[in-house]
Structure 1
Amino acid sequence: MIEIAKEAALFAGEYLKERFTQQLIPDLESHNDVKLPEDKESERRIMEIIHRHFPSHTIYSEEAGLVNREDEYLWIVDPLDGTNNYFIGYPYFSVSIALQHKGDIVLGVVYNPIANQMFWAEKGKGSYLNGKRLAVSSRTELVKAVGSYIRGRDTMTKEHELAVTRPYMLQTKRLLRTIAPALDWCLLAHGWIDYIVMERSGIMDVAAGILIAREAGAKVTDWQGQPYQHQPFDSREFPSLIASSGPLHEQIRQMLIEE
C-alpha cells in the first residue's frame, strides 16, 4: 500500500510541477483562500490510482469530500497542500496521502515535487526521505529553536493569531508561517525545524505528516500536555497540537496563551 501511495503522489505531483509556472486561473478566490482547477486534477489522478488498486476503499479528499465505499480502509488525501503558495508562485507545496485502517493511521506519504522530496512512513517502521531514515533534532537551546505555526482556515481572528505567536517570535530563533502544513511536519521529522504549534487544522492537511514526524521520534501532545492519540476520522474537527523534538517540548507548550 505504501508503494501505491507513492505512485499516486508522484503521478499527481508531476502534473502540479508542470502546471506550476503557468498562468493559473482560480475557480474561486476569497480573502484567505483560493480554489484552483489544478487541485481537482491532482485529486482525480490520486483517486484514479487508489481505486484502480483498491476499488473497495473509501477516500476522503478536499475537493470530492467523502467517497464512501467500505469503512475498514480510509484514504485521507490533500491533493495540493499549500494551494495559496502554489497560486502565487511560491515553491512550497505538496501532495499528502494517508491511510487509516480500522481507525488508526498506518501510513503517510508527503511529496514535494519541486524539490523531488518523497517523505513517507509506515506505523512502527520509521520515516524516510528518498530512502534515508529520518530523526528529529536534538537541539536543547530555546533561543536557537526554529518552529512553525499552523492554523485552520477561519478558526480565529488575526489578533488572536498575533497573541498566540508573539512569544515564539520573541523567544525562539524563528517562527515560520508557511501555509503548507504537511511539509512542516516533514521538516520536523527531518530535524530541520524543532517545534510546531498547530491550532485546529484540518485532518487532511496533517494526517500523513503527523505519522511521518512521530515515526522520526517527534513528541506530539495536545495543548494541555496530554499525548496525542489519533481518533477515528471525523472531518468536522481536529485537535490543536504541540509537536517537538522532545527536549524543548514543555517550554514550547508553556508559551501558549490560553483563551
Structure 2
Amino acid sequence: MNLEPIATNLNKLCRKVGAFIHQEGEHFDRSKIEMKGFNDLVSYVDKEAEKKLVEGLRHILPEAGFITEEGTATTRGDRYNWVIDPLDGTTNFTHSLPVYCVSVGLMDGNEVVAGTVYDPNRDECFWAYKGGGAYCNDHPIKVSDSTALKDSLIATGFPYYDFGLTQQYLQVLGSFMSKSHGIRRMGSAAIDLAYVACGRFEGFFEYNLNPWDVAGGSIIVQEAGGEVSKFTEDEDFIFGREIVASNGNVHREMQQTIAEFWKNTGA
C-alpha cells in the first residue's frame, strides 16, 4: 500500500474537522456537556467531529474498519482499522483551555502505519507514515538529542477517574521531579506525544489510556526517531493502557524510574 497519499488526505481531513472544533469552541455552551462516567466528559462537538472523521475516512480507505472513542462506527476491518479520537483534550476544550486536538491513527493488523495529530489552536499538523519520516505541517521533525533524564522535560497525565494507584503514581512523579528539568501536564496525550516527536519534551508517560489516545501520536514519535513502549516492557502499548514515549536516549532511565515504584502494583 502507498501510504503517502493516505497520509496527505488524512491531514486534509483532520484540518477540516479541527477547524470545525475550533469554531464551535468560540461559543461553546458548557450546559451541553454530557457525562460518560465520573470526570469523563463528552459534548456534541466530540460526537459531530467523530461523524465527520468517519465519513471522510471511509472515502480515503473504504476497506478499513474503525476503533472510535464515541462509538460512531464499530465495525472492525479484517486488516486495516482507523483509530479515532475526535477531540483529545475534551476537558480542556469545555473549559476554553486551548490545548486539544484531533488524533487519528491507521493500523495494519497490530501495527500503526500512519498517524495525524492536528492542533487547531496553533495550526500545527503533526503527521507521519511508516518509513516516511515525521513532520509538523511541511517541516521534518525529530526528537530531542538530550542524553540524560537530568537534562529532560517530561510530560504526563494525571489520574482523573481511576484513583486506585494514586499513591504509587505520586511517588513516580516525585522521582521524576527530582531527576529532570520538571513535569508538565498538558491534558492531551496526543499533543504530549507530538511534542516528544518534535523535541519539546524528552519523554511522556501515562496510564489508564485507550487506543485512540495514543495510536495517532505513537507512530509520529517513532518516525521522528523516538521510542515507545509500556512502562516496564516493550509490549503492546496501543491496547496495553500505559505508555512511555521518549527520544530513545532517556527511555531506559524513564522505565527504571517508573519501575522503582510500579513493579508491585499489578498494573
* TM-score, normalised with respect to structure 2: 0.87
The residue number in structure 2 matching 1:200 is: 208
Structure 2 residue 8 is the aligned partner of structure 1 residue 8: no
SS of the counterpart of 1:255? helix
Partner Cα distance (2:211, 2:36) in 1: 22
The residue number in structure 2 matching 1:188 is: 196
SS of the counterpart of 1:110? strand
Question: How far did 1:230 drift?
Answer: 6.4
CA RMSD between the two structures: 2.1
Partner Cα distance (2:178, 2:225) in 1: 27
After alignment, is 57-66 or 116-125 more displaced?
Answer: 57-66
Q: Does structure 1 retain, via aligned residues, the 8 Å contact 2:18–2:118? A: yes
Partner Cα distance (2:228, 2:248) in 1: 9
Partner Cα distance (1:255, 1:50) in 2: 40
Partner Cα distance (2:46, 2:148) in 1: 40
Structure 2 residue 227 is the aligned partner of structure 1 residue 215: no
Partner Cα distance (2:24, 2:211) in 1: 26
The residue number in structure 1 matching 2:3 is: none
Question: How far did 1:31 drift?
Answer: 4.5
Structure 2 residue 65 is the aligned partner of structure 1 residue 58: yes
Q: Does structure 2 retain, via aligned residues, the 8 Å contact 1:11–1:46? A: no
Candidates 240, 243, 246, aligned match of 1:241:
243
Residues 156-200 of structure 1 show CA distances to partners (whole Å, capped at 9, x for unaligned) of 433343222111122211111222001100100000111112223
Query: Structure 1 pair 67/12, CA: closer, same or farther in 2 (3 Å)?
Result: same
Structure 1 residue runs of 5 or longer lacking an equivalent are 232-236
Q: Which letter maps to 1:146?
A: L
SS of the counterpart of 1:205? helix
Paired residues for 1:1-259 under 5 Å: 1-24=6-29, 25-28=32-35, 31-64=38-71, 66-68=73-75, 70-150=77-157, 154-157=161-164, 158-224=166-232, 226-228=233-235, 237-256=239-258, 257-258=261-262, 259=265
Partner Cα distance (1:93, 1:220) in 2: 21
Q: Does structure 2 retain, via aligned residues, the 8 Å contact 1:105–1:230? A: no
After alignment, is 89-98 or 70-79 more displaced?
Answer: 70-79
Percent identical among aligned pairs is 26
Structure 2 residue runs of 5 or longer lacking an equivalent are 1-5
Size of the aligned set, in residue pairs, is 253
Partner Cα distance (1:17, 1:255) in 2: 38
Query: Structure 1 pair 94/118, CA: closer, same or farther in 2 (3 Å)?
Result: same
Query: Structure 1 pair 144/91, CA: closer, same or farther in 2 (3 Å)?
Result: same
Question: How far did 1:29 drift?
Answer: 7.2
Q: Which letter maps to 1:252?
A: M
After alignment, is 150-159 or 64-73 more displaced?
Answer: 150-159
Partner Cα distance (1:32, 1:77) in 2: 20
SS of the counterpart of 2:147? coil
Query: Structure 1 pair 54/143, CA: closer, same or farther in 2 (3 Å)?
Result: closer
Question: How far did 1:228 drift?
Answer: 4.6
